[in-house]
Amino acid sequence: MGLIGFVDSLNLVSFALTVIDICGFPRVLCDNVGWWQVLFEIIAVSILTLLFGLLLDILVGDPDPNSPYAFYFKIHPTVLMGKYIAFLEKHLKSPSPQREKLNGVFLGIVTILTFALPTFLILWALWTFLGAVNFWLGAIAYIIVGAVLVKFTVCIKLETDWAKAAAKAIDAKDIAEARKYAHFSRRDFTSLTGSQIGSGIIESMSENIIDFKFSPIIWYSFLGVTGAVAFRAINTLDGMVGFKDQGHVNTGWFSANLDHVVNFIPARLTGVLIIASAALLGKDWRNAWRIAKRDHMKTQSRNHGWPMAAMAGALNVQFEKPGKYILGDATEPLDGSKIRDALKIRDVSIVLCVMLFLPVLVGVRLFVFPF
């Protein structure tokens, strides 16, 4: 390592401690414990919070709005975000398009701050005051609360349960049952065939890799739990008001464009990792790359076309939204097995995303933003 390398290592630790002190972390941690414990504070706690948050969603998931326990769905934080946005939007309508656009900016900023700022303050308070009493008490409290908040920004288990149930129904040619799970693709499923239902489900899974997996993970890597919650607010804003119909074209323009910006890199990365996952699973990754390049511009969304086209190519199937777009080539039939294959590709891509951004998380916590 050499003397210079040793000195550089000490400088890095000293710099990290300085950043922690500037950002308001309890100095008692730096005074009473070794540097290794401070590094645990800014690295291991952040990693465990992310991993436990993902694991919590995989094990528990979100409540099904159609289940007997639908009450829990109504109090889900994302659902409450939607209700909050809808409440604010009612009071921001204006006969002036320019005024409505300004109101749309206000709606977006206020919504993000309403959920992101308390998140930061709660976690900061837990870590600062409990950590000042006992290091491990502060660390454990931060991990528990942070993991629960991260869990609410992702959606894995509920989507998996719906997709598997739909695949089983499609294989059994029980179209009526399959249609019960087609609603999360946001299209009129009353006249869809089995393959069209399967198409809608896999398309939604593909775009949800961005919105409910990769983007929360990526923004967590850069800005911690606050970043993941802020992203969930932005994405919910887009889902509530980011439309071009007459009622939302002005109030929703800011939210729609902001969602496009924060998802721009994650969307393209999703396409790449779907292709990589297809290669690892022995699927047709070359065709995934070919279709992604050819068809990603066919969808209305400038972001969602990448993962949807890549997934269609990897599965050698054709996705169709009647009257809107067609992605991929119908080389193989789209049955229940393709839904299960899409789940495998999704799961591998999530693992790859976490592995890819763990070094980013560590680097950011050390040198930029330790909370």
Tell me, yes or no, whether 316 lies in a domain. Answer: yes
Q: Quote the number of domains for the chain.
A: 1
Contacts made by residues 84-89, CB under 8 angstroms, sequence distance 24+: 84/111, 84/114, 85/111, 85/236, 85/237, 85/240, 85/241, 86/240, 89/240, 89/241, 89/251
**Would you state the structure tokens that stand for residue 208, as one six-digit string?**
């949800």
What is the mean pLDDT of the segment spanning 338-358?
A: 98
Residue 179 binned pLDDT confidence (cut-offs 50, 70, 90): confident
| Residue-range definition of the domain harbouring residue 247 | 33-367
Residue 348 binned pLDDT confidence (cut-offs 50, 70, 90): very high
Tell me, yes or no, whether 349 lies in a domain. Answer: yes
> Alpha-carbon distance 289 to 223, whole Å?
31
C-alpha closest to that of 24 among 98, 99, 126, 119 = 126
Query: HSE (CB half, 13 Å, CA atoms) of 153?
Result: 35
Tell me, yes or no, whether 22 lies in a domain. Answer: no
pLDDT computed for residue 182 by the predictor: 74
Tell me, yes or no, whether 7 lies in a domain. Answer: no
Tell me, yes or no, whether 155 lies in a domain. Answer: yes
State yes or no: pLDDT of 12 exceeds 80: no
Tell me, yes or no, whether 4 lies in a domain. Answer: no
Tell me, yes or no, whether 87 lies in a domain. Answer: yes
More confident residue, 191 or 252: 252
Burial 188-227 (b: 16+ CB within 10 A, else e): ebeebebbbbbbbbbbbbbbbbbbbbbbbbbbbbebbbbb
Tracing tokens 């496009």 back to the chain, one arrives at 260
Rounded to the nearest angstrom, the gap between the alpha carbon of residue 108 and the centroid of all alpha carbons in its chain is 18
Query: HSE (CB half, 13 Å, CA atoms) of 259?
Result: 25
Tell me, yes or no, whether 325 lies in a domain. Answer: yes
